[in-house]
Structure formats: C-alpha cells, structure tokens
A and B are shown apart, each in its own frame.
Chain A
C-alpha cells in the first residue's frame, strides 16, 4: 500500500496556529513514521509501572500467541498522539476532550507505525469561542495493518471576528 503524503516532518512550533474555521469535514492527514524500539517499551514500563510479562519477559512471551514481547497498548496510543501532532493541526493545537479507542493487533519491537487521520465532524463547543472537532484515526504498521483505531474529540479555538 502506498504511504500517504506526509504534510510535515517539522516540529509543532513550525505549524501556523489553526482555528476551527480552517477545518473541513473530510480533510485527511498523515504523520511521519516511527520505529518502535525495545527502549521505548522499557522506558514506558519504568515510567508507568506496568510490568506485565507481555511487555517485559521475552522468554515467557516465546510461548505466547505473539511469540515475543509487545508494546503496551497505551504506549502505542501515546506515540500515536505524538506522531499525529507532527502531521495534523488538530492534534497539534486542539485540546483533547475525549476518545474512543480499539487495540486491534500487537505492535512488536522493530515495527514502524504511522497515523492516518480524517476530520469526521465539526460541532459547536460549550461556548462561543470554541468548536469541537471529531477526528477518526488509524495507527498503521509497515505492512499496512491497522493495529489501533478510534476517534478523538478536540476543542479548537474559533477565530475571533
């Protein structure tokens, strides 16, 4: 499968600010890719305190259906949010309000993942200064499998008229 065009490899600060009015339903974005390493998993286990054998015991995992250690689901999602913030203005500038998320397949050490996202809905926010943007997201590995997917809602500032 062809990789979609990547909008930006640069840091968030290089993005111009965006406003709710700049967004349209159907707009699509793609993030850069990132290779998930053993170090990512070890640091995430240390930070979170989640030492489940799924993520930490290579010998135990040899006999599991995965055959090896896998990344924490929340590590994949956290990397997803970081990647998205480099390719998509909503993730870079919006405030996360809620999410619905499914973990569909494992992320293994050495897998390279990227994010595909699409603006699914634009709604009025709780006040006149903000709008709420719904974004559909897929986290895709190097062979095109969707390993995680879901929907996030972000509060985005309106342009003051």
Chain B
C-alpha cells in the first residue's frame, strides 16, 4: 500500500502547446457566488446582482481545470494584465477561452504567457487579458 498521496496528474511545461485554444465549461453566476466572494473579500456590494470585478477571473482559474488537458503544473502566478470590458450580472453564464502565446525556458521551469478571455452567454467578451505563469518542468522519472 502506498503511504504517500499520489502525485497530481499535471500538464508540465514541456507539454504546453502554443496557440491551441482551450475552452472551459460554462458557469451560471448566482447570488450565492456573490455572497461567498464578497464574504471573503470584505467588499460591500452596491448592488447584489452586480458580479464583483475579480470574481469571474477567480472562477476562470478553476474552470481552467475542466478542459481536455490536466491542470497546469503552476509553480507561481507571476502577474497579469486585465481589462474589465462589460458588466456581469447574476444570471449570466460565463466561460473562459485561453491559449498559450509564448513559452520561455527558465532554470526552475518555464514561463508561459497565456491569453485569456471571459465570454458571456451572448458571446460577448466581458473581460480579457494576458497572464504570466511559472510552470514546472516534468520531473525526472
């Protein structure tokens, strides 16, 4: 019997494909999402049906685990640039579309730049930007 947890199945730097779009499943935003999120952040919403700006991006990181690829072996989220284009309201259904723009090998892994957009049920891009991630190399067998 194993005495350690299984190593997580992950997508390592070597396996990241440039320019291949990954589309996530959708998620309908509810007042429960808004209440839980504002409960964590301490922001007091001016309108209970207005989705806080950073909630869709936070959800997109989890939605990104539900694409036909194992979760990326992220060692560190280094930074990002992001634009908030249209308001998002409770009842809207969002999904995210991302693709890797560039890969650069580093000593401890590799840096990827990912383009990501968040799209609503009317196919409008509501938020978009570029994320910089440090990703682990596949460990030696």
Q: For the complex, is A28 an interface residue (Cβ under 8 Å from B)?
A: no
B: interface residue count bin: 35 or more
Nearest residue (CB) in B for A105 is B76
Q: Which of B36, B63, B78 contacts A49 (CB 8 A)?
A: B63
Is residue B40 contacting chain A, with contact meaning CB distance below 8 A? yes
Total residue contacts A-B, CB cutoff 8 A: 105
Q: Complex: how many Å from CA A97 to CA B5?
A: 43
Q: Which residues of B contact A30 (CB under 8 A)?
A: none
Q: Which residue of B lies closest to A12 (CB)?
A: B44
Asked whether, in the complex, the Cβ of B43 is within 8 Å of the Cβ of A49, the reply is no
Q: Is A8 an interface residue (CB 8 A)?
A: no
Interface residues of A (CB under 8 A from B): 11-13, 34, 40, 43-44, 47-54, 57, 59-60, 72-75, 77-79, 81-83, 85-86, 95-103, 150
Pick 21 A–B contacts, CB within 8 A, sort by A: A12-B44, A13-B44, A47-B33, A48-B61, A49-B62, A49-B63, A49-B65, A49-B66, A60-B5, A73-B76, A75-B40, A77-B54, A78-B37, A85-B42, A85-B44, A97-B84, A101-B80, A102-B78, A102-B79, A103-B76, A150-B79
Pairs A-B, 5 closest by C-beta atoms:
A49-B62, A82-B41, A82-B42, A102-B79, A73-B77
Question: B residues near A, CB below 8 A?
Answer: 5, 8, 33, 36-44, 52-55, 57-59, 61-63, 65-66, 71, 74-84
